[in-house]
Amino acid sequence: MRELVLGSPAVSPAGGAAAPSVAAVAAAERVTGPLPPSFRWWLTTFGGGRIGGAETAVVAPSGWQDEYDAVTAPWRREERPGLLACAEEPDGARYWFDLTERRADGECPVLCDAGDGLGPQPFAATFAGFPAVVVALATGQRHGPNPAVAELWRQGPGVMLPCGVQAYGPDVLPERNATYEVARWAPDWVLVGDDSGGAGLLMRRHGADRSSVYLLGLGALEPDVAAAGERVTGDLGAWLTAGAPR
C-alpha cells in the first residue's frame, strides 16, 4: 500500500509530521470503536490526506475531537447508524465504513454515497482497496482488466508473497505490460503478476474463461498463452491466499 500511496498522483498523503501518536489513535478508538487496521495504518503513517479528491478523516488533538474533520466528529457515526464516515469529496460525496460487516481481521467494506439518492453503495472491500480502486479509475483502468483482478484491487493494491509471486496493483500493471510488450506478443492477454523469476502470470482480457491464470516465461510470450504456458489456477484470489502453491 505504501508504494501505491507514495507513487501515484491520485493519492496525496498529508505526511508523517501530521501523524497522530498511538495514544491519540487509541483515544479516538474509545469513541469510534476499533478502526479498520488499514485505516489505522494510514492515520499513524500519514495523519490523513486525499485519496482522489476525497479528504480522509483525521485524528484530532485533545479538545478538538468534535471538529468536522475529526474521525470522532459526532456526525460521522450518528448520521448513518452502523456506518462511520471516513472520507468526503468536495462535491459532498462521502465514503463510509460499514461497521456491520467487519471481518475477522478487523477490516470493513468501504461504501460510497455519491449523493444521487441511491444511498451508500459498495466501493472497496477494505480501506486498503479504497486507494487501489481510485488509482485504477484515475488511470483509465476502470475497476481492472477482468473480474478477478478487480476483486483483488478492491481488497488492496496488489500482493507480494514470501515465495516471490506477486500480483500487480493498478500503479504497476500498465508499466509491466508495456515493458514486456504484452499487447504486441499476446494481444488477448494481460500480465497480472510474476514469480520474481522471469515468468509472468497472464489472464485473458476477453472471452468465456477470464478466471484461469497461466505461468509463462516473459521472454517467450506468444498469442496462445494457454497452449504455451502452465495453468496454475482458476481462482486468482484463493490461489494467492493459499500462498500460490504449484
Vertex 200 angle, CA 195 and 205, to 5°: 135
pLDDT at 122 over 90: yes
Quote the strand ranges of the chain, DSSP E: 11-13, 49-51, 54-56, 83-88, 94-98, 110-113, 121-124, 159-160, 166-167, 189-194, 199-204, 213-217, 230-233
* Three-class SS state of 236: helix
Segment 93-110 mean pLDDT: 98
Across the chain, what does the average pLDDT equal?
96
β-pair partners for 84: 97
Return the pLDDT at 18: 82
Same domain, residue pair 107 and 59: yes
What is the pTM (predicted TM-score) of this model? 0.94
Q: Is residue 142 part of a domain?
A: no
| Domain, as residue range, for 62 | 2-133
Return the pLDDT at 138: 97
Same domain, residue pair 112 and 173: no
Return the pLDDT at 188: 96
Q: Is residue 186 part of a domain?
A: yes
Which residues have C-beta within 8 Å of that of residue 2, sequence separation ≥ 6?
45
What is the CATH classification number for the domain harbouring 210? Answer: 3.40.1580.10
Residues 15-42 pLDDT 10s: 877 899 999 999 999 999 999 999 999 9
Total domains, the chain: 2
Q: Is residue 203 part of a domain?
A: yes
Q: Is residue 148 part of a domain?
A: no
Q: Is residue 154 part of a domain?
A: no
Same domain, residue pair 188 and 232: yes
Same domain, residue pair 66 and 22: yes
Same domain, residue pair 184 and 105: no
Residues 194-232 pLDDT 10s: 999 999 999 999 988 999 999 999 999 999 999 999 999
Q: Are strands 159-160 and 166-167 parallel, antiparallel or unpaired?
A: antiparallel
Return the pLDDT at 241: 97
Q: Is residue 185 part of a domain?
A: yes
Q: Which three cell numbers stand for residue 228?
A: 504455451
Q: Is residue 138 part of a domain?
A: no
Same domain, residue pair 122 and 163: no
Q: CA-CA distances (angstroms) from residue 186 to 37, 110, 116, 222, 233? A: 39, 35, 41, 5, 19
Same domain, residue pair 116 and 211: no
* Sole residue written with cell 505461468: 215
